[in-house]
A and B are shown apart, each in its own frame.
Chain A
Amino acid sequence: MLTLSARFILGGVFVYASFDKILHPAAFAEAVYNYQILPDGLINLTAIVLPCLELVLGIFLIINFWMPGTVVMINLFLMTFIGALLFNMARGLNINCGCFSTTAVESSMNILTVLRDTSFLAIAVYLLYAIFFSRK
């Protein structure tokens, strides 16, 4: 029951987070650019592919498909994302995280953004445990 809830919550978050980015690739590309991590040549490609990867991972998590790969990818995804947030916070960049919305309405990233993503990572780590270590 706990695993089912975790799958639906995290899957729902990934699917929801992907919609606005898929609809507005130019605005999401601007958010990716603002992170100042990727080389210029990869910004548009990332803005096009990353939201679809989020969508695929979210759907697979909900429908319980390819779980080992999905759960590992989701953990890596969240860890990379939290790392990027912390990296930019540490160097004092004041930007929108572009997590759920590509509009400027979304507030700038701060420690609450990191805490929110860390709570998602906690769910993902639980799923990792449930998939790989509790099936004996």
Chain B
Amino acid sequence: MAIFRSVEKNKEKIYKATYFQVAWQACAMFALSILLAFVINQLRSDRFPLMGNWSIKAKHTTPDGDRLDISFEKAKKLFMEKSALFIDARSMDEYVKGHILGARCLPLHDVDRRFIEVTEDISPDTLIITYCEGATCELSCDLALFLLDMGFNNVRVLLDGWTEWTKGHLPVEKGNTVS
């Protein structure tokens, strides 16, 4: 019985020593990684900031400080009043499967080729609302910034537009209609 108890005690000691070894090695590796990361970042010519502004507001603000995003309710109202033109920034395939009624198709990856064809009859003051699909989709924002660069001065982004639109059961259509 005594031998059994002594073996158990020894086992416990070994386990404790192993936990301790794993813990200090893990802490040391964390510390080493943090140190290495800061040294590499300091040596970088384009030093990466330790804190960034990742808020939706920051991501959808033009370099001049103007907000790009528009609320779903406001976009819906503008759609009903027919006072905004919607542009779908997703791929042609996704557009054909379904899009906001009357929206034009200008996929961001094909924007150089299709820009003139899609926008030649749009006046620079037209209120344009771009959209894509997914909470992290950046296509609509990038397309909006591109359109602003190209001289359209009234461009907004409907965040996660396609998802919100279908959830709200608002008018949609399929096929390549007005692109």
A binds B: yes
Instruction: Please pick, from B29, B34, B37, the residue contacting A73 in the complex, using a CB distance under 8 A.
Output: B29
Set of chain A residues within 8 Å of B48, measured between Cβ atoms: 25-26, 29, 44, 47-48
Instruction: Tell me which of B17-25, B63-71, B75-83, B115-123 binds A.
Output: B17-25
Check if B171 is an interface residue, CB within 8 A of chain A: no
User: Does A40 contact B54, Cβ atoms closer than 8 Å?
Assistant: yes
> Which A residues from 37 to 90 make CB contacts under 8 A with B?
40-41, 43-45, 47-49, 51-53, 55-57, 60, 66, 68-70, 72-73
Given the known inter-chain contacts A68-B21, A68-B22, A69-B24, please indicate yes or no for A48 contacting B37, CB distance below 8 A. Answer: yes
Check if B52 is an interface residue, CB within 8 A of chain A: yes
User: Does B52 contact A44, Cβ atoms closer than 8 Å?
Assistant: yes
User: Does B134 contact A72, Cβ atoms closer than 8 Å?
Assistant: no
User: Does A72 contact B33, Cβ atoms closer than 8 Å?
Assistant: no
Q: How far is the CA of A56 from the CA of B134 in the complex (A)?
A: 35
* Interface of A: prevailing SS: helix
> Which A residues from 19 to 38 make CB contacts under 8 A with B?
22, 25-26, 29, 33-34, 36
User: Does B25 contact A69, Cβ atoms closer than 8 Å?
Assistant: yes
| Cβ distance B178 to chain A, nearest Cβ, rounded Å | 26
Set of chain B residues within 8 Å of A73, measured between Cβ atoms: 26, 29
Check if B41 is an interface residue, CB within 8 A of chain A: yes
Interface size on A, residues (CB 8 A): 32
Interface size on B, residues (CB 8 A): 31
Q: How far is the CA of A25 from the CA of B29 in the complex (A)?
A: 20
Q: How far is the CA of A56 from the CA of B34 in the complex (A)?
A: 10
Check if A129 is an interface residue, CB within 8 A of chain B: no
Q: How far is the CA of A22 from the CA of B29 in the complex (A)?
A: 17
User: Does A34 contact B136, Cβ atoms closer than 8 Å?
Assistant: yes
Set of chain A residues within 8 Å of B21, measured between Cβ atoms: 68-69
> Which residues of B approach A to under 8 Å, CB–CB?
18, 21-26, 28-30, 32-34, 36-38, 40-41, 44, 48-55, 133-136
A-B contact pairs, 16 of them (CB 8 A): A25-B41, A33-B136, A40-B55, A44-B50, A44-B51, A44-B52, A48-B38, A48-B41, A52-B36, A56-B29, A60-B29, A66-B25, A69-B29, A72-B22, A73-B29, A94-B134
| Seed contacts A51-B37, A53-B33, A69-B29; 12 additional CB < 8 Å A-B pairs | A29-B48, A36-B136, A40-B52, A40-B53, A41-B51, A44-B49, A45-B50, A53-B30, A56-B32, A56-B36, A69-B22, A73-B29
